[in-house]
Structure 1
Amino acid sequence: MLREVVFRTEDLSGADRFDFWREQVGRTHAPLDLRSEHAADYRAHQRVMELGAVHMWPTTHQSLTFRRTPRLIRQSDPESFHIGIPLRGTNRVAWDGQRAVHGAHEIQVYDSSRAFEVTCSNGADLFQGIGIEIPKAILHLPQHKMDQLFARAIRGTDGMGALLVQFVTRLAADTSAYQPCDGPRLGTVLVDLLSALFAHTLDADRVLPPETRTRTLVHRIRAHMQRNLHDPQLTPTSIAAAHHISASYLHRLFQGEDETVAAWIRRQRLERACRDLADPAMCATPIHSIAARWGFPRAADFTRAFRGAYGVPPKDFRRQALRAATVH
């Protein structure tokens, strides 16, 4: 599991909760002036995940207003960008005489060196969101470009924005598959995704280093393959066409991987079919339907591929898996 620190105000008495929360948020981001109508008995939960130099923090809390003031900037400036992504609720933002309201899955960028005010709320319910702290020095865009994105909403429901939101929400939901040593690698992926998203938004892709553009393209291709595993027509040729590259270039992109593009697709499909066959809730679903669901329209092809991967035909695997589930 990744290295992370968890904060819960419920662990403290009501009178101490908001002061504790103010201190923790200041450590996570930068010194902030916090206010809330619920300060007398504040409810909040936050996980801070260490991804090398980058920190990501899924958070749930009652309505809150935080201000980064000129006095606080003079007091301490970590020279970082804060990326805010509401998942449930809205961010009401005020800066330089301007105001805006950003809703769920709208990505925003704030600069620790600039003054602003943000109110996070979700009516009577808890606000839920993800914050990302990234040092300015490691983001692959110059400051004058980033200034254009300050407090601006970037769509997180399609294109590059959706790719970023999918990555951070899936990572926040389950870190059990990762070791602490994976943190810096995941941080590199996150920096690349953010850099590519910002460059795309600014139409400034040419300012990104070539290696960042290449890694981002690979992330986009992987996400495309994951979304389309059910499609029997998902092939290296169709993937290359969808990304406006040649099939030979696609294969070169994945030369450093442990398996070819076609082998990766087959393994992913078989793993998902294997999961469905072992699921008691799907015991009445015919095997050929599960096979078709994961891109194997011909039952004979599925049986042959499954036996080659797992050593038994899918029918026998299902029987053994369901028997084991019943025993436990």
Structure 2
Amino acid sequence: MIGTVFRSEDVAAEDRFDHWRELVGRTHAPSDMSSEYAADFWAEQRLLPLGPVTVWPGSFRPMRFRRSARMVRQSDPEFYHVSLVLAGGLGVDQAGRADTHGPQDLYVIDTSQPYDIRPPADQERCVVTGVGVEFPKVLVPVSPDRVGDLLARRLSAQEGVGALLSGFLTGVVRQADSLQPSDAPRLGNVVLDLLLAWFAQELGTESALPPENRHRTLTAHVRAFIRRNLHDPDLTPPVIAAAHHISVSYLHRVFQEQTHGETVAAWIRGQRLEGARRDLADPALRSTPVHVIATRWGLRRPAEFSRAFRSAYGVPPTEYRLRAAASPAPQDIVTESAGGRVVRVPSGK
């Protein structure tokens, strides 16, 4: 498991809000925190240190965060804070701008300027759930004056790089219990790449990003596009390149650079086979013919599917399904495919 977890119910009721306020004060830029629910406070938060960034998913009863000019003068970590709102709402005031943020909105605040974050008047009783990310301002390759155009604004997490960032953050949160400390630096670098690409997209400064960041972000876009279209048997490198307005040769070069030599076609095939593998092990799909499952994942030729599945997982698809069905609580066993990849196959009884 990565990071630490705070749950208010682990603290005596009369001490919960003060304990929460102390915890937040130690981990974030100092601010004045207040709540109408201080006497009956509830909150859950996880703190995930991921290399260059800190991610903190949390839920809490409505409260207000106010950071004054005096607090800025006394202590400034010089961070940007990006928040993804998942439930409830928040009103944010900073840099002379005020906006209200609801589910699937993103917003940015700068610890070097005063701010006021509070529950909107129509949501004063709603629990707020979201994911915050903090990282040093120096890591953003554009001036704070330019970033100032984003502060407190309501920004979408449902399109473009914002959607990639939102999806990755929520995925990290879902998997936090199974992640190991050794995963943290790599995950943090991915989060930072997506943050920088998102800033660049919102500010129109993509050219300011180093080529490595641009390549990693393009690869993330390509992978997301492929996952959305795996069912299409005509999904090919030329189709993918055209959708991203790049040449096929550039697509191949960047993709292999970011995947240690794996080709686009090989990655598509691997994702399709993994999707079919999951469906074959799903008891709810036990009556669905194998060839129908394969076709759903864009694998139209039964003989080719069977050969590729056996190469990847060491057994034919029908046998894989039988093994999965034979064990009520399948334990994975490790086997090695003909291609040399270590994979997991459900064991029999």
RMSD: 1.8
Which residues of 2 match residues 124-273 of structure 1 at below 5 A?
124-175=125-176, 178-256=179-257, 257-273=260-276
How much identity, in percent, do the aligned residues show? 49
Looking at structure 1, the residues matched to 328 and 234 of structure 2 have their Cα atoms a distance apart, in angstroms, of: 34
Q: What is the one-letter code of the residue matched to 1:263?
A: A
CA shift in 2, pair 1:86/1:77, >3 Å = same
Looking at structure 1, the residues matched to 61 and 28 of structure 2 have their Cα atoms a distance apart, in angstroms, of: 18
Deviations, residues 8-56 of structure 1 (Å, cap 9, x unaligned):
1110111100011111111222111111111002100000111112100
CA shift in 2, pair 1:96/1:270, >3 Å = closer
Q: Which moved more, 1:230-239 or 1:90-99?
A: 90-99
Which residue matches 1:26? Answer: 25
Which residues of 2 match residues 45-194 of structure 1 at below 5 A?
45-120=44-119, 124-175=125-176, 178-194=179-195
Looking at structure 2, the residues matched to 7 and 140 of structure 1 have their Cα atoms a distance apart, in angstroms, of: 34
Looking at structure 2, the residues matched to 13 and 176 of structure 1 have their Cα atoms a distance apart, in angstroms, of: 25
Which residue matches 1:312? Answer: 315
1:131 is paired with a residue whose SS is strand
1:6 is paired with a residue whose SS is strand
Q: What is the one-letter code of the residue matched to 2:80?
A: F
Deviations, residues 273-313 of structure 1 (Å, cap 9, x unaligned):
11111111221222122111211123232222212222322
Looking at structure 2, the residues matched to 175 and 297 of structure 1 have their Cα atoms a distance apart, in angstroms, of: 36
Looking at structure 1, the residues matched to 267 and 237 of structure 2 have their Cα atoms a distance apart, in angstroms, of: 11
Looking at structure 2, the residues matched to 59 and 232 of structure 1 have their Cα atoms a distance apart, in angstroms, of: 41
TM-score by length of 1: 0.94
- Count of matched residue positions in the alignment of Structure 1 and Structure 2: 327
For structure 1, which runs of at least 5 residues remain unmatched after alignment?
A: none
Deviations, residues 234-254 of structure 1 (Å, cap 9, x unaligned):
111211111111111111113
Looking at structure 1, the residues matched to 148 and 209 of structure 2 have their Cα atoms a distance apart, in angstroms, of: 16
* Contact residue 280 and residue 325 of structure 1 kept, 8 A: no
Aligned pair 1:284/2:297, yes or no?
Answer: no
Q: Which moved more, 1:297-306 or 1:36-45?
A: 297-306
Aligned pair 1:303/2:302, yes or no?
Answer: no
1:229 is paired with a residue whose SS is coil
Q: What is the one-letter code of the residue matched to 1:108?
A: Y
Looking at structure 1, the residues matched to 300 and 284 of structure 2 have their Cα atoms a distance apart, in angstroms, of: 22
Instruction: Tell me how far 1:62 sits from its aligned partner.
Output: 0.6
For structure 2, which runs of at least 5 residues remain unmatched after alignment?
A: 331-348
Aligned pair 1:324/2:327, yes or no?
Answer: yes
TM-score by length of 2: 0.89
